[in-house]
Amino acid sequence: MDRRSFLVKSGAALVGSTIVPLQSCQSPAEIKKQLSGPNRKFGHMLLNGKFPNHSEEITTPVVIVGGGISGLSAARQLSLNSVDYVLLELENQVGGNSSKGSNSVSSYPLGAHYLPLPGKHDPDLIAFLKEVDVITNFVNDIPVYNEYYLCFDPKERLYINNHWQEGIIPQNGILADDQREFVYFHELIRGFKELKGADGKEAFCIPLSFCSNDPAVRKYDKITFKDFITKHKLKSPYLLWYLNYCFADDFGGKMENISAWAGIHYFSSRKHSANQTTDLILTWPEGNGWLVEQLKKHSISKTISNSVVYNVTIENGKCIVDYFDGMQGVSKRLISERVIMATPQFVNQRILSGSLNRKLDYLKFKYAPWMVANLTCSANLENKRGEQLSWDNVIYGSNGLGYVNANHQNVNLYTDQRVLSYYYPLTGDNDKEERQLAYKRNVDEWYSLIINDLNKPHPEIDKFISDADIWIWGHGMIRPSVGFISEVSALAQASIENKILFTHTDTSGVSIFEEAFYLGTQAARKIIME
């Protein structure tokens, strides 16, 4: 920046600082705050289990339970192959963890908000992305991505030592010893990226079913990531912070409560082709809600929303799905050849009939609760020196994950209002207690927790916030604890009599779009093939 414009800016900052106290008279009541989350009324109905007897029986070849990414992906695959089905969704709208919201300023994510470029094991996903113009064409079989959907520059910045630095790996004011540990860690990861098991399969990749079963690799699932790091004598507080940040972001966990295998997978499963030097990602103002909009076009006429599935069983070789239609207030029965359960296991535990005798320890499934707040904000989020407002803006040492600028992918030069999506997972070991804590906080308590965090880089930001849409996910993403992937995952993915298939990502232990898309598509393909 040239000095002249800087002087003008700092002058303005001085003048600004004399005006601020007058503005502080503004009543906080002017901020529109809202606390919401997935439909808890229907959830409680499930817990109580009191539903009227079904008044109608409908026959259909396939029933899909759950309209998250895996359910929608299965539906798309069935539609493409002209197989008829019914998709039942508990909520008012489909999308699951990739749901979205919107206001007059922007649409915004309520959950997942980006998709890394798919790798070579994902031809189906690549075909879908081509279908929706995210991939515009291929050059020598390498996909060319639509520039408007690739995350614009500047991508990430980190607030550390009172300064916004570029990227989220701490660099500003970091000592040489710490930097050496980062180098060591990256070398370690590079090794895992190239590692192959004795079965010839890649040690870590996406989808997870392509990963090697070699015990030499799977042994990392027997220890926590903390054990792994300790074994390598890594102890730089900056590195530890960075690792914990990544695990909170992807698993709602921390080094102490996730398996080393899952942690290593996070860093080493995404390998890019030779022409992609940087870690590119795809993103939209509404996050993966955009992908939901594209996916659901295939199933919109076959979707029944507001429906509470309360019983799934097999009788006389036919699948039975009983659900309560929340719009009509009546229960109905679907009789089908196959059922795709695209629902998380904490739900399946309640709705699968006991007679099915599924051998699964549901207590092994841990889900971190999450808070996602979308703040409509008119503040200038750039400090005098340091990196410009980026897509992902992280605060070092904070319990939150920072905020994403939902308006980042807009092409216009100036924006006076933006929506900031602020993420906060509750990473404690006991997910049940954390869930109670998340539900206990009222809207004002959540709001002040967010503001206290954002005040570090942006003092007085609350004066510039007009709306706060706070969303609580009681059961956010699955947390891959020790042993889950090697012991629980396969059991959870095993079908019941080849009639009831399970596609939710909590069966994999890693809640990512690619995995959900793969599981859903594969289940549908299996039905089509037979």
Closer residue to other proteins (CB): 269 or 405: 405
DSSP letter, residue 458: S
Exactly one of 148, 192, 346, 439 binds other proteins (CB under 8 A); that residue is: 148
Which residue in the set 127, 183, 216, 280 belongs to the binding site for other proteins (CB under 8 A)?
Answer: 280
Nearest distance, CB of residue 417 and other proteins, angstroms: 12
With a CB cutoff of 8 Å and minimum separation 6, the contacts of 42 are 90, 306, 308, 326
User: Percent helix, strand and coil across the chain, each rounded to 5?
Assistant: 40, 25, 40
Per-position DSSP letters for 405-435, written without gaps between them: ETTTT---S--S-EEEEEEEE---S-HHHHH
Residue 144 contacts other proteins per CB under 8 A: no
346 binds other proteins (CB under 8 A): no
Dist CA 322 CA 202 (whole Å): 42
Q: Which of 30, 141, 147, 530 binds other proteins (CB under 8 A)?
A: 147
| Residue 410 in tokens | 């807009």
37-96: contacts with other proteins (CB under 8 A): none
Of the pair 41, 414, the CB lying nearest other proteins is at 414
CB of 115 to other proteins, least distance (A): 14
Q: Which is nearer to other proteins, 6 or 362 (CB)?
A: 6
Q: Which is nearer to other proteins, 162 or 213 (CB)?
A: 162
Residue with tokens 């069935």: 78
CA distances from 525 to 73, 374, 520 (A): 11, 37, 9
CB of 139 to other proteins, least distance (A): 12
Window of 18-26, 197-205, 428-436, 462-470 that interacts with other proteins by CB under 8 A: 18-26
The three-class DSSP label of residue 462 is helix
């980042």: which residue's tokens? Answer: 408
Determine, following the binding rule CB under 8 A, whether residue 30 of this chain makes contact with other proteins: no
The two tokens of residue 87 are 């998709």
Could you tell me which stretch among 37-45, 407-415, 456-464, 507-515 binds other proteins (CB under 8 A)?
A: 407-415
- Chosen residue from 43, 46, 126, 163 binding other proteins by CB under 8 A: 163
* Interface pick for other proteins out of 154, 167, 428, 483 (rule CB under 8 A): 154
The β-bridge relationship of strands 107-109 and 100-102 is: antiparallel
Among 30, 416, 497, 530, binds other proteins (CB under 8 A): 416
- Cβ proximity to other proteins, 61 vs 173, nearer residue: 173
384 binds other proteins (CB under 8 A): yes
Q: Does the footprint of other proteins cover residue 14 (CB under 8 A)?
A: yes
> Which window, 55-63, 82-90, 108-116, 385-393, contacts other proteins (CB under 8 A)?
385-393
> Which three-class secondary structure state does DSSP give residue 221?
helix
Distance CA 448, CA 445 (A): 5
- Select the residue interacting with other proteins from 59, 161, 273, 498 (CB under 8 A): 161
- Interface residue with other proteins among 78, 110, 151, 470 (CB under 8 A) is 151
Contacts with 73 (C-beta within 8 Å, 6 or more apart), sequence order: 128, 295, 516, 517, 518, 519, 520, 521, 524
- Using CB under 8 A as the binding rule, whether residue 354 contacts other proteins is answered as no
The residue (of 77 and 393) whose beta carbon lies closer to other proteins is 393
User: How far apart are alpha carbons 382 and 287 in whole angstroms?
Assistant: 23
355 or 412: whose CB is closer to other proteins?
412
Size of the site for other proteins (CB under 8 A): 40
> What is the biggest distance separating any 2 CA atoms in the chain, rounded to whole angstroms?
82
Do 340 and 523 contact (CB within 8 A), yes or no? Answer: yes
- 488 vs 146: CA distance, rounded Å: 38
Query: Residue from 386, 417, 495, 526 that binds other proteins (CB under 8 A)?
Result: 386
Is residue 116 involved in binding other proteins (CB under 8 A)?
A: no
Helices 69-80 + 123-131 axis angle, to 10:
80
Cα separation, 235 vs 237, whole angstroms: 6
Task: Give yes or no for residue 413 binding other proteins (CB under 8 A).
Answer: yes
Cα–Cα distance measured from residue 181 to residue 269, given in angstroms and rounded to the nearest whole number = 21
Which span (42-50, 70-78, 380-388, 471-479) binds other proteins, by CB under 8 A? 380-388
Q: Is 23 a binder of other proteins (CB under 8 A)?
A: no
Task: Using DSSP bridges, classify how beta strands 303-304 and 307-315 pair: parallel, antiparallel or unpaired.
Answer: unpaired
For other proteins, the closer of residues 8 and 437 by Cβ is: 8
Q: Note if the bond before 154 is cis, omega within 30 degrees.
A: yes
Piece of the chain touching other proteins by CB under 8 A; list 9-17, 190-198, 208-216, 290-298: 9-17
By beta-carbon proximity to other proteins, the closer residue of 3 and 233 is: 3
Our CA dihedral for 353, 359, 360, 361, rounded to 10 degrees, sits at: 110
DSSP conformational letter for 484 = I
List contacts with other proteins (CB under 8 A).
1-8, 10-15, 17-18, 20-21, 147-148, 150-154, 161-163, 278, 280, 383-386, 388, 411-414, 416
